[in-house]
Structures are given as structure tokens and as C-alpha cells.
Structure 1
Amino acid sequence: MDNQLQRGFVFRQENCVGCQACTIACQIHNELPENVRFRKVDRYEVKRGDDEIDVWLTHSCMHCGNPACLMVCPAGAFTTRDDGLVVLDRERCTSCGLCVSACPYDAIAVDPRDGRAAKCNMCVELIDQGQQPACVTGCTVGCLTTDNVSQLLKSNTHASKTGVGYRDNLTKPNMVIIKERV
């Protein structure tokens, strides 16, 4: 059964310009070294009519309903909160790297400062204060937010769990793509 409280990222793919402001905001907020990224922006060339256009996908941890990282971690360093956010306790990490290999979204990095796994936790410290994650507030065009996944999929006919470069799979990722330009 799906978590009715599941929070996830909501991305208006048609509006994204690929500026990477979300990536930079995340990097600054989490005080990450230059070579560690929790949020990435990928570019895809898509044929529309006779033209090819650039379509962007911003992604980080998908806070999966069936997280591969949690299943393979021998140290039990991953937990899922009531709101579905997958959180990593870095103190429990043994640096085995199994989570990095298991994640189909390339969302887990190894922090070179200590060799332990590191990942997006959707800025739970901000979420718990009623605020949005740093990547959301950093998005200059307003195409990224968070919301209750189940409710959004039921209430918005333009909401989907598929988009250019992204699709639902066995891990039950929780990012919603809004296929509507505003």
C-alpha cells in the first residue's frame, strides 16, 4: 500500500531552463564540497515537430517508497520517516558503498572528506519548520516544489510519475512531473 503521507519533489519540466540554481542552492545549504552533488540537472535533446529542443531534468534522491539503499545497507543507516522521506544517518555508515551501487538514480555520493555516503534528505530540518528545501527556494523560475505525492496525482490531471529522463520503477520513486507549461 502506498504511503498516503508521502512527500516528494514536484517538477514542472516544461518550465525548467537548466540554470542549475537548484543545484547551487543545495550545495551551499548543505556545505558540500565542489565534487559532491545531491541535486543534478541533466539535459536531453527531444524532437518536437521538425525541431530538436533542450529539455531539462532536475533530480536528487527520489525518496522511494521501496528504497534500494535501505534494503542493501548492512549498517541500517537508512530510515524512512512517516512522510516517506528517506533519511541517512551518516554516523552509522560503514563506507561499504553498497547504497551507491544500488541507487538507480545516482542520488547517493561518497563524501571525500570522510568516505561515508551522503544524500539529499529534502532538507528535513527546513521541512520540519514548515519551510521548503533549499533547492526549491533557490529555483529562479519556480519550477520545483514539494507536495503530497498521492494527493497531487489524484487532484492534478497534468501530474505524472513520468517525464523526459524519468519514469516510475520498482523502487517506487516519489517525484511528480507536471506536464503543463505556465
Structure 2
Amino acid sequence: MSLNKKVGFVFRQENCVGCGACTVACQIHNELPENHRFRKVDRYEVKRDDGAIDVWLSHSCMHCENPACLMVCPAKAYHVRDDGIVVLDREKCTGCGLCASACPYAAVSIREDDGKADKCNMCVELLDRGMKPACVSGCPVECLDVGNLQEVLKRPSASKQGIGYGDCITKPNLVIIKERA
């Protein structure tokens, strides 16, 4: 798979206000139960010379280059599309839970209603029609987007590191933009 074909989430961490609108938009679009979330917003308190500030991390499935979920799934329910998006075929899922345990980002969860794994698919049904994922469209401050990773990583402010997030062996495809828009 060529890097120039890969898409990933792009997050302007310094712009995020922690409102959770991305989480709600995702839940509504995917018709998820109230207690089930594909996208989460975590709060981190960062101490500075002039006091402490809250910094937020909006995250979901990282659509990793080396997805742990895919590697451990005995049912072969996961596959990686040519654009790098990791997709779960819930029909193949046996509910063993190995994928949820293996994911270093806690992006895979087991649904209470049917006992099967579930996760963000980056709204491939929308992307394939030229639209943005629900979480991106739902962000009122426009700090979340998707983009071609090769192009995004050329920006001087782009990084694979952020507060509450860092690159790991699975090679996650989330890029943090470290400048306020």
C-alpha cells in the first residue's frame, strides 16, 4: 500500500474545546446506543508557567498501518482498504474480544446488544461519496478533518505526536497539527 494513497484523521489539538460534538455526531450517524462510542474526547491538564490549561484529544480508531486488531482476529473479520482505512466485517466477527484487548488505543469495543466487536470505519460510506465523516462535519470549531497523510505530513506543524497521543508499533494514522488556526 502506497503512503500517497493513505488517508487519516487530522486533528488541530490547540483548537479543540472539548465540546464532544464529534462524539455525538458519530453516535447519531452510526445509530449507536447511548453507552457506545466510536469517538471519544479525553481531557488532559497541562501545567504551564502561568498556571494550568485543559487540552483535549478527540480520537477514534487510528486506522493503523499495522493494526493489532487485524493481527489477532482469528475470524479474519478485519481488512485494510487500499486507502489505509481499517474496516471490520461484523458478520464475520465471533465476539471473542481479542481485537478489543489488542488495540493500544481502546478503539475497538464489544457491543452489549450482540456481543460482537465494533469500531469506527471513518464513515467509508460517506467518504466514498466525496463527503466528510460525521465526526468531522459535526465539529463546530473545525479542528477535526481527514486528509491524504503524505500531503498533511509535509506541513511544518504536522506531527505524529500530541498531548495524550503518540506513535507506536501499530503506526497509527492520526496527525496532530500543532498550530492554532
**Paired residue secondary structure (1:169):** coil
Aligned to 1:89: 89
Task: List gaps (5 residues or longer) in structure 2.
Answer: none
Cα distance, 1:4 vs structure 2: 2.3
Task: List gaps (5 residues or longer) in structure 1.
Answer: none
Cα distance, 1:2 vs structure 2: 5.9
Determine the C-alpha separation between the residues in 2 that align with 1:49 and 1:83.
43
| 1:91-170 alignment runs, 5 A limit | 91-154=91-154, 156-170=155-169
* Contact kept in structure 2, 1:2 and 1:65, CA below 8 Å: no
Question: What is the identity, as a one-letter code, of the residue corresponding to 1:179?
Answer: K
TM-score relative to the length of structure 1 = 0.97
CA RMSD of aligned residues (A): 0.9
Determine the C-alpha separation between the residues in 2 that align with 1:85 and 1:36.
21
Determine the C-alpha separation between the residues in 2 that align with 1:83 and 1:2.
8
* Contact kept in structure 1, 2:3 and 2:149, CA below 8 Å: no
Cα distance, 1:144 vs structure 2: 0.3
Question: What is the identity, as a one-letter code, of the residue corresponding to 1:175?
Answer: L
Determine the C-alpha separation between the residues in 1 that align with 2:53 and 2:122.
30
The number of residues matched between the two structures is 181
Question: What is the identity, as a one-letter code, of the residue corresponding to 2:171?
Answer: K
Identity %: 70
* Contact kept in structure 1, 2:73 and 2:98, CA below 8 Å: yes
Determine the C-alpha separation between the residues in 2 that align with 1:81 and 1:98.
21
Question: What is the identity, as a one-letter code, of the residue corresponding to 2:60?
Answer: S
Moved over 2 A (4+): 1-4
**Paired residue secondary structure (2:69):** helix
Deviation string, structure 1 residues 92-111 (Cα, Å, up to 9, x no partner): 00000000000000001111
Question: What is the identity, as a one-letter code, of the residue corresponding to 2:78?
Answer: F
* Contact kept in structure 2, 1:47 and 1:53, CA below 8 Å: yes
Determine the C-alpha separation between the residues in 2 that align with 1:69 and 1:23.
22
Matched, 1:20 2:20: yes
* Contact kept in structure 2, 1:13 and 1:55, CA below 8 Å: yes
